[in-house]
Amino acid sequence: MIQTKRAYEPTSETDGARVLVERLWPRGIKKEALSLDTWLKDVAPSTELRQWFQHDAAKWQEFRKRYSRELEENPEPWQQLLSRARRGRLTLVYSSHDEEHNNAVALKEFLEQKLKSPARHQAA
């Protein structure tokens, strides 16, 4: 199971593996205060895509398409996430205020699609 959670929310026993999926560290949080298993900067959208999107809900559909293309071009980071998700609960930690239109939500959708057809998307 894959879920998303804001970095500013408290950790929970039901979080499972917690992975920060942002290129930048969340503002106002000390590194020791954010309980993470890992920080995968390379699975986050490129700086150019993030700056273009600016969490504008009107750009959401196009953002998802562009982000998906970026992910397909760099499979190693998201394949790590698939591996974790297959072993148990995975929480994608993000810092956006918008809980519906952010990279973690788009990444969750992308990963869930990959989990539906795992044989085609295994690491080589």
Q: pLDDT class for 123, splitting at 50, 70, 90? A: very low
pLDDT reported for residue 121: 46
pLDDT reported for residue 32: 86
- Single-letter amino acid, residue 34: L
103 Cβ neighbours under 8 A, 6+ residues apart: 21, 22, 44, 45, 50, 67, 94, 96
Backbone angles phi, psi at 39, to 5 degrees: -125, 110
pLDDT above 60: residue 107: yes
Q: What is the pTM of this model?
A: 0.90
Span 38-95, pLDDT tens digits? 999 999 999 999 999 998 999 999 999 999 999 999 999 999 999 999 999 999 999 9
Q: Which helix (H) or strand (E) holds 103?
A: helix 103-116
pLDDT reported for residue 33: 86
